[in-house]
A and B are shown apart, each in its own frame.
Chain A
Amino acid sequence: MKKIFIVLIPLFSSIIALAQDRDTTKKSPDRQLKEVKVRDKHIDIRKQEESLNVEIVTPAFIQRNLGGSLMKTLERLPGIKTIGIGSGQSKPLIRGLGFNRVVVVDKGVKHEGQQWGADHGLEIDQFAVGEVELLKGAASFVYGSDAIGGAIDIKPAALPAPNTFGGSVDLTGKTNNNLYGTSLNLYGRKQHWFFDTRATYQDYGDYRVPTDRVYVYDYVVNLHNNQLRNTAGKELNLHLGTGYVDERFRSIFYLSNTFSKSGFFANAHGLEPRRVDEVLHDRSSRDILLPSQEVNHFKILNHTEYQLPGQRLELEAGFQHNFRQEFSQYVNHGYMPPVYPSDLQIPIDLEREFDKRVYSLNLRDHISLGRHELKVGANLEHQDNKIYGWSFLVPAFKQTTAGAFAYDKYKLSETVLLHAALRYDYGRINMFAYQDWFNSTVTTDGVSTVEKLTRAENLLRTFNSVVWSAGLNYNPEGSFSLRANLGKSFRMPIAKELGANGVNYHYFSYERGNTQLSPEQSYQADLSVAWTTDRWSVQLSPFFNYFPNYIYLNPTSAHDYFYGAGNQVFQYAQSKVNRYGGELQLKYKIFEQLSTEVLGEYLHARQLSGDKEGYTLPFSPPASALFNLTWSPKIKGSLQNSYLSVDYRITAAQNNIVPPEKKTPGYNVVNLQAGSKLMAGKQPLIISLQAQNLLNTRYLNHTSFYRLIELPEAGRNIILSLKVPFQFKTNQ
């Protein structure tokens, strides 16, 4: 078999990137099998040459484990969790770090949304992604500010093969929230020019939980048909990729627009219990009433690369427009007027609006110099953020960041690779003053006056940072391999941390920024040891991480009735933090067709200084282990790639908490996956079936947005996906 690989690798490696799933449809089964193995090999090679902990996910994995959103799908991987709200929105959490501590890169350009909000999902269409690379650890040296926890690098879908014209239809249905969705792909390529289009539409109703009653504090909320009122949603995503490709030069434009509209659970907004018209809400499980959110993310990117002898130049330029609106009934919290003023221009139900425009430019040069593989590059980004709505959380701001890096991969010997990287970043944030549109009562020495409070002042801050990384890969002959990395990462404080001085009424919190915050720094050591034989594979990846100045929203014991309208003061502060943990992956092939897998993860975080000394960090996922059994029968006839697989996940209780969290009991969940590729005549059909939460277990997820109001996670969900690839013209 090894010889076949040696022959196939050079042959296929050039077209792997081009081929992937697409050109398999018309080939003999024999050849397809080999191709699958080759593709795995390219992932193995990537892993062997990366000193950070890296996981690579293929579109087939996404099809097999399709969740409510891309991040929910990836949650099966050890060390990856999500902060989710509802059934369609979630954001990544890598080893317990999320929000602005994880970078999401889409087609080479940093994806910029409103990452700071726990109820804000990631605006990515999971049907449109190619491979996804998950880097755990100090990744700032490549990705710049924010890549403290790691990076999620979403590659574009593979290019169509030359002289092809085809596409695919995806159909998805889910029983829990009555989702129906479709994604239609159409692509074509002559020798050098290609296009690749996709449209995805999903529509879902309120999701069901395994209970007919939930409690918001002591207030009983009866659920109609076990449905969480008003958690329905829909999304529409459009994509176009087009460009020119030849052996030396390629330039591709990617145009996309993702739109989603979804409701929030109506009986509580944040932590605030809401009285709702149940008859109105329960009339339909698909309508989206208040409160709700609408997010539109538009993107235009260009990726150009040019191959010269011994070096490859890459350029990415992009524009993104993230437009987010949050709608809610007007409720006069604090000193807000009891009746919404008729002369106020802001629509009465527009609570918050964020309008972000981002311009990005990346340059990279890959240089091969003997045993050195050098990568030098620069990133430039400019953001323009505007706000609107009757509620204030974050001021408007402009932000410019620039960074330059050099990264050297040195082949010391056939078995040892050394890595070293150095990066410099400059950042500048310019925040704009905000004044309340209503009067607050101010009492000084017993005299009450009214005034419009200034919530944020004009502020200009600049930041400089030098980060570095050093690593090693040791891949001796045989079954053992080792990766080690030590690195420093950083993150610029965001506008909310620096300048917020507003009340988050739904959380009864008055959030006070700190203009003096310094850039957050993090030192991380990563180790990964793996042992692979034909039947066994074991990988253990421990890490240790230290922050001298983790930025943290600290709930204090004080109430503020001037700026805070009687709410608890949450003050941004910095503290020393220690984190350690790791993941374990164990695979064992019991028989040729039966294999088992164990995925384990553990994380511990602890604040070493400040007001919350001794406490953990918020949203720390509890330890968990996933036990899998997969049967991959080789069936003669028209069924190929068949599998039946059971996941049993045991999650420990999380008792290590920090205000305002609650202890979360442990739970066990069973998921089933089954699928096959069958031929209906000459037409292949790829069918995937899943049963998530098969036993309809009632449990709470510690990192869910709805955890604080004790909303259980979704009950049993049967997911059926069908993929129908088609080709009008092939390259044969």
Chain B
Amino acid sequence: MRNPFIYLSMIALLLVGACKKDSTQEIDTEYPVIDISSTGAFPKQCSTVKRGEKFTFRAQLSDNTTLGSVSVDIHHNFDHHTHSTEVESCTMDVVKTPVKPFLLIQSYPIPVGLANFEVQQEITIPADVDAGDYHFMIRLTDKEGWQTIKGLSIKVI
């Protein structure tokens, strides 16, 4: 009964191999963070912005290593097809057909090599766009390509 021992030790080796932590190189597995909890952050879930006026998009961005880029997308949600990523639901207007909905797709630069950054960008809502329910989508990447998405429900009045 010599053979079974050889095989059993091979099995043991395989199992040890299976349990071994990959310690050769640390890889980053953390997503970047979009923080809109501070009092100065804007917009927040269910915030309201006015047509014909400017507002400042302000959020705290951070990553355990290095931030990549941030992108903002404001699009209508008059048909209620999509949902925000947030816990809280906002009061929605009735479903309606868009006539001239506001659309903004914009990337904002983050200075190279930062782990923390407060984004502050002025956004103007034209006076002639449709009022109603909109989504304010923030997409943030880090250098390794991890992306965090925050979809906020906002109202344009």
Contacts and interface: CB of A to CB of B under 8 A. Distances in A.
B68 to A, nearest CB: 3
Contacts of B101: 338
Given A218-B87, A614-B25, A659-B147, A602 B141 contact: no
Contacts of A273: 82-85, 151
Interface in B64-104: 68-73, 75-76, 78-87, 97-98, 101, 103
Given A559-B107, A657-B29, A219 B84 contact: yes
Contacts of B115: none
A463 interface: no
Contacts of A218: 85-87
B81 A274 contact: yes
B57 to A, nearest CB: 14
- Looking at chain B's contact residues, the main secondary structure is mixed
A568 B80 contact: no
A566 B137 CA distance: 10
A348 B98 CA distance: 16
A568 B22 contact: no
Contact of B145 (A217, A557, A652): A557
A554 interface: yes
B146 A659 contact: yes
Contact of B69 (A559, A655, A657): A559
B105 A568 contact: no
B81 A219 contact: no
Interface in A618-663: 623, 625, 652, 655-657, 659-660, 663
A216 B71 contact: no
A156 B145 CA distance: 45
B127 interface: no
A391 B91 CA distance: 31
A566 B71 contact: yes
A205 B19 CA distance: 39
Given A559-B69, A566-B139, A663-B29, A331 B14 contact: no
Contacts of B76: 338
Contacts of A558: 68-69, 141
Interface in B102-157: 103, 105-107, 137, 139, 141-147, 149-151
Query: Which 6 A-B residue pairs are closest in the complex by CB-CB distance?
Result: A557-B68, A217-B85, A555-B145, A338-B98, A559-B71, A273-B83
29 contacts: A218-B86, A219-B84, A219-B85, A219-B87, A275-B83, A339-B98, A480-B3, A508-B139, A540-B7, A554-B145, A555-B141, A557-B141, A559-B70, A559-B71, A559-B141, A561-B107, A566-B105, A566-B107, A568-B71, A582-B14, A600-B14, A600-B15, A600-B18, A614-B27, A615-B27, A659-B145, A659-B147, A660-B146, A660-B147
Interface of A: 216-220, 267, 271-275, 329, 331-335, 338-339, 441, 479-480, 508, 531, 536, 538, 540, 542, 554-561, 565-568, 582, 584, 586, 600, 602, 604, 606, 611-612, 614-615, 623, 625, 652, 655-657, 659-660, 663
Given A508-B139, A559-B139, A660-B147, 16 more contacts: A217-B150, A272-B82, A334-B105, A335-B105, A338-B103, A508-B149, A531-B3, A542-B14, A555-B145, A559-B70, A561-B107, A602-B14, A602-B18, A604-B22, A611-B145, A656-B22
